[in-house]
């Protein structure tokens, strides 16, 4: 089509020239022009083919000294702002990439709508301090020792280094500096922004708010805001609401990320609720402590998104010469709806953030007996399970809670990280050796940030927990939170883990965190430093994880938090996967996994096959249904293998072997949510397409068929329309009329017709490009 319209252009061009008489083109020139146009056409058609993914993979930052305009470009996006006449950084544009040749005029502040409405509020600034009549959300707020609380930042200088930009701002009077940092990703156009405030005055000041960035969107009244909310065993619910003037505050005051709301957002322009259409701006915070994201539509309908440390109970004392760094706020733009937004985020996480970014290894199939044995772990019992796990194809065997101290229930033992000698009389080594001899690697559960009152650690160091002296210490799950901000606690926790990893051959830690903070006091710190606990705790957590990874480079870590309560782009830079929910019911999981996928890559999501009926809700499902639900993420087995029949063992073997074939596609591919879980529909379909569009995997689920209605046709996406894909049914049924091989166009437009009937039925298919081994 594009080719035809290009040749038509050549025709018309030559004819008009001819009609003009004098300048008829030579044949040679015409051929050259035709070749150029063909080249352009093929580039443009490549553009069209790949429009759903990213088109360009370059990044560029420039500054125009005439107009004072900064242009950041990466992949398909442009992000543009300028320095206005008030020396403020003013946002100009964020969206589809603009050609470099298009000039952008210098920018001027926007007047208020009345004489008592200072322009500082209507002007969309990149980063604005509280001062000078600001009423919209500030990025930073301070109190000086002399009582002054006014801070007004102006541009001073900047530095460009490849795809990285630093901009220095300074208060109009005082020696308070803020450095803004921008990095633009060449593959996805996702920007990473953060800020650092530095006190160069000769008196202390207190930072009361510090955000990483403000993202500004064009004025419009048709934004839809998406958020991920939940609770224990019911995490990752996608919420959608229309934006209107006013402010929506998303936050966690829990001391960590929580399942109540995740530090992720998306704003879609328009009303189509599209997986495929509409402009979407999305972002997520890289911070695992208390956080906030304010989404504000101001009185002229401009939308600003400001995120960083939670301002609640926040105060960070900065002595002269000291500085404070904000978390990093990541954000991107997608032209093709929510589907593309999450695919960009997944790609960014996998190639730019997670520890394995440079060298992704498929996530191994794991076994964990938590749901089967609870705290009753011992050498003999675990060895039996290990043998069975190895037989079905498991690659990693993990001991969960209960292996240490007096840990026979959740009432005691946390903090005492010595192997329980009754359960493991010879230590862990014989079991680890056995696991290795079976061809698996070994993993261990830890919850290093916590302590039970009934533990040797607490008896020795009751002052190590978060507390206010003389006040009650609230327990959740019978445990308290160790104050990791304290240097001695940090050293203890690192020492324990380093010793465990040095004295055992351990490949994996399941790092659990089973409660939120209460009474967040740090009595041993100087009074003015006590609230630093919100920052220093998390920095020390990151420090321990980073130090462990350096000292034990082979060890992988899962971020688990009583379900999916601590999943964010901060912890994911130091851990290899996340546990999304304690709810392992395969039907509930379809919705949980779907929500998770809006913000985080399926390859980072641990998904267990457990026993039926499920402990959460008593629901009975078949083993194939359970496998297919879990195979959409990183597969684990959490069932009691001792109770599986020979037939079930054989079924598991088959599914695990199939999973190993498809896991690179599921874990690293592009995810298309073809039919999303919804209370109104009994159908769910996902599709994952490999990076080069060589293969695709499709999972289809039926809750319950009604009124003899057929499963709706499923139209695939993201395939190469012009090549043939062979179809392989991994499990379940298709209607007999489906061809064994057909073009990508066929699968995308004619579609697939599943033959699923009954309750909790599922199917899975693999499509492979013809000629690919």
* Smallest separation (angstroms) from ligand DGJ to the CB of 376: 12
* Smallest separation (angstroms) from ligand DGJ to the CB of 445: 6
Q: Is 583 in the site for ligand DGJ (CB under 6 A)?
A: no
Q: List the interface residues with ligand DGJ, window 544-563 (CB under 6 A).
A: 560, 562-563
Q: Please identify, using beta-carbon distances, which residue of 327 and 562 lies nearer to ligand DGJ.
A: 562
* Smallest separation (angstroms) from ligand DGJ to the CB of 561: 7
Q: Is 140 in the site for ligand DGJ (CB under 6 A)?
A: no
Residue 618's Cβ-side half-sphere holds a number of Cα atoms within 13 Å equal to: 0
List, as one string, the DSSP characters of 532-557.
GHHHHHHHHHHHHHHHHHHHSTT-EE
* Smallest separation (angstroms) from ligand DGJ to the CB of 599: 19
d(CA 659, CA 215) in angstroms, rounded, equals 40
Report the residue from 512, 576, 588, 687 that binds ligand DGJ according to the rule CB under 6 A: 512
Report the residue from 445, 598, 627, 683 that binds ligand DGJ according to the rule CB under 6 A: 445
DSSP code of 519? S
Report the residue from 171, 279, 401, 761 that binds ligand DGJ according to the rule CB under 6 A: 401
* Smallest separation (angstroms) from ligand DGJ to the CB of 578: 11
Q: Are strands 176-184 and 164-171 parallel, antiparallel or unpaired?
A: antiparallel
- 256 DSSP β-pair partners: none
Q: What is the 3-state secondary structure (H, E, C) of 172-203?
A: CCCCEEEEEEEEECCCCCCEEEEEEEEECCCC
Q: Is 400 in the site for ligand DGJ (CB under 6 A)?
A: yes
Report how many residues bind ligand DGJ under the rule CB under 6 A.
11
Catalytic residue among 582, 585, 611, 731: 582
Q: Please identify, using beta-carbon distances, which residue of 225 and 233 lies nearer to ligand DGJ.
A: 233
Q: CB-based contacts of 628: which residues, under 8 Å, 6+ apart?
A: 655, 699, 701, 731, 732, 762, 763, 764
Q: Please identify, using beta-carbon distances, which residue of 77 and 428 lies nearer to ligand DGJ.
A: 428
Q: Please identify, using beta-carbon distances, which residue of 198 and 568 lies nearer to ligand DGJ.
A: 568
Contact 576, 354 (CB under 8 A): yes
Active site residue 146: no
- The residue sitting closest to ligand DGJ, measured at its beta carbon, is 401
Q: How far is CA 250 from the centre of its chain?
A: 16
* Smallest separation (angstroms) from ligand DGJ to the CB of 236: 14
Q: CB-based contacts of 255: which residues, under 8 Å, 6+ apart?
A: 289, 290, 466, 481, 516, 517, 520, 534, 537
d(CA 182, CA 328) in angstroms, rounded, equals 10
Contact 294, 276 (CB under 8 A): no
Active site residue 433: no
* Smallest separation (angstroms) from ligand DGJ to the CB of 516: 14
Q: Please identify, using beta-carbon distances, which residue of 268 and 512 lies nearer to ligand DGJ.
A: 512
Q: Please identify, using beta-carbon distances, which residue of 309 and 404 lies nearer to ligand DGJ.
A: 404
DSSP, collapsed to helix, strand or coil, labels residue 433 as helix
Q: List the interface residues with ligand DGJ, window 332-391 (CB under 6 A).
A: 370
d(CA 51, CA 363) in angstroms, rounded, equals 29
212-237 exposure pattern, b = at least 16 Cβ within 10 A, e = fewer: bbbbbbbeeeebbbbbbbbebbbbbb
Q: Please identify, using beta-carbon distances, which residue of 214 and 514 lies nearer to ligand DGJ.
A: 514
Q: Of 69, 306, 59, 292, nearest to 183 (Cα)?
A: 59
Catalytic residue among 259, 298, 512, 585: 512
Q: Is 514 in the site for ligand DGJ (CB under 6 A)?
A: yes
Q: Is 579 in the site for ligand DGJ (CB under 6 A)?
A: yes
The set of catalytic residues is: 512, 582
Residues in touch with ligand DGJ (CB under 6 A): 370, 400-401, 445, 512, 514, 560, 562-563, 579, 582
């Amino acid at each position: 089509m594009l080719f035809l319209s290009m040749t038509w252009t050549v025709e018309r061009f030559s004819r008009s020239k001819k009609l003009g008489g004098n300048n008829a083109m030579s044949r040679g020139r015409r051929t050259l022009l035709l070749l150029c146009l063909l080249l352009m056409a093929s580039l443009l058609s490549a553009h069209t083919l790949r429009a759903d993914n990213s088109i360009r993979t370059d990044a560029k930052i420039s500054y125009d000294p005439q107009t004072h305009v900064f242009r950041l470009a990466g992949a398909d996006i442009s992000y543009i702002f300028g320095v206005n006449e008030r020396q403020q950084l003013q946002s100009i544009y964020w969206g589809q990439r603009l050609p470099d040749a298009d000039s952008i005029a210098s920018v001027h502040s926007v007047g208020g709508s009345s004489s008592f409405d200072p322009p500082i509020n209507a002007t969309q600034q990149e980063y604005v301090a509280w001062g000078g009549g600001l009423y919209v959300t500030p990025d930073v707020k301070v109190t000086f020792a002399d009582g002054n609380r006014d801070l007004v930042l102006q541009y001073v200088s900047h530095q460009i280094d490849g795809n990285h930009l630093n901009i220095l701002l300074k208060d109009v009077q005082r020696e308070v500096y803020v450095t803004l940092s921008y990095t633009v990703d060449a593959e996805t156009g996702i920007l990473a922004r953060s800020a650092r405030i530095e006190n160069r005055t000769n008196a202390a000041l207190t930072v009361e708010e510090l955000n990483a960035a403000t993202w500004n969107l064009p004025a419009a009244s048709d934004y839809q805001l998406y958020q991920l909310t939940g609770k224990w065993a019911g995490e990752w619910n996608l919420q959608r609401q229309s934006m209107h003037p006013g402010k929506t505050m998303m936050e966690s005051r829990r001391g960590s990320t929580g399942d109540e709301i995740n530090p992720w957002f998306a704003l879609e322009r328009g009303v189509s609720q599209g997986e495929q259409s509409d402009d979407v701006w999305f972002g997520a915070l890289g911070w695992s402590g208390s956080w906030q994201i304010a989404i504000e539509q101001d009185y002229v309908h401009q939308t600003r998104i400001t995120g960083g440390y939670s301002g609640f109970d926040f105060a960070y004392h900065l002595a002269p010469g000291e500085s404070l760094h904000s978390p990093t706020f990541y954000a991107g733009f997608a032209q093709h709806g929510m589907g593309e937004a999450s695919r960009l985020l997944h790609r960014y996480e996998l190639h730019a953030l997670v520890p394995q970014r440079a060298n992704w290894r498929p996530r191994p199939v794991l076994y964990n007996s938590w749901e089967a044995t609870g705290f009753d772990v011992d050498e003999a019992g675990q060895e039996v399970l290990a043998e069975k796990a190895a037989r079905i194809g498991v690659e990693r065997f993990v001991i969960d809670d209960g292996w240490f101290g007096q840990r026979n229930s959740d009432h005691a033992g946390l903090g005492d990280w010595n192997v329980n000698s009754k359960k493991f009389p010879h230590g862990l080594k014989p079991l680890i050796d056995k696991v290795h001899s079976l061809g698996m690697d070994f993993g261990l559960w830890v919850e290093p940030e916590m302590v039970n009152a009934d533990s040797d650690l607490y008896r020795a160091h009751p002052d190590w927990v978060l507390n206010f002296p003389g006040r009650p210490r609230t327990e959740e799950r019978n445990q308290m939170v160790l104050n990791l901000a304290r240097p001695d606690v940090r050293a203890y926790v690192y020492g324990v883990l380093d010793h465990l990893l040095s004295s055992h051959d351990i490949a994996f830690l399941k790092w659990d965190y089973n409660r939120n903070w209460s009474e967040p006091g740090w009595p041993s710190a100087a009074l003015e430093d006590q609230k630093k606990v919100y920052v220093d705790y998390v920095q020390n957590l990151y420090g321990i994880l980073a130090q462990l990874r350096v000292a034990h480079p082979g060890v992988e870590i899962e971020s688990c938090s009583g379900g999916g309560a601590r999943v964010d782009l901060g912890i994911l830079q130091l851990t290899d996967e996340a546990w999304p929910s304690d709810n392992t019911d395969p039907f509930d999981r379809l919705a949980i996994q779907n929500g998770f996928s809006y913000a985080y890559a399926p390859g980072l999501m641990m998904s267990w096959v457990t026993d039926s009926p499920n402990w959460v809700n008593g629901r009975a499902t078949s083993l194939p249904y359970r496998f297919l639900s879990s195979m959409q993420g990183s597969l684990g087995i959490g069932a009691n293998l001792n109770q599986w029949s020979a037939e079930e063992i054989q079924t598991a073997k088959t599914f695990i072997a199939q999973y190993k074939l498809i896991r690179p596609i599921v874990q690293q591919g592009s995810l298309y949510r073809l039919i999303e879980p919804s209370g109104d529909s009994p159908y769910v379909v996902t599709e994952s397409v490999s990076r080069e569009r060589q293969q695709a995997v499709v999972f289809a689920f039926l809750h319950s068929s009604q009124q003899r209605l057929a499963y709706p046709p499923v139209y695939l996406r993201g395939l190469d329309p012009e090549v043939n894909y062979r179809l392989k049914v991994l499990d379940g049924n298709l209607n007999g009329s489906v061809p064994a091989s057909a073009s990508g166009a066929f699968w995308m437009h004619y579609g697939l017709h599943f033959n699923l009937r009954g309750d909790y039925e599922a199917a899975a298919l693999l499509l492979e490009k013809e000629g690919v081994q």
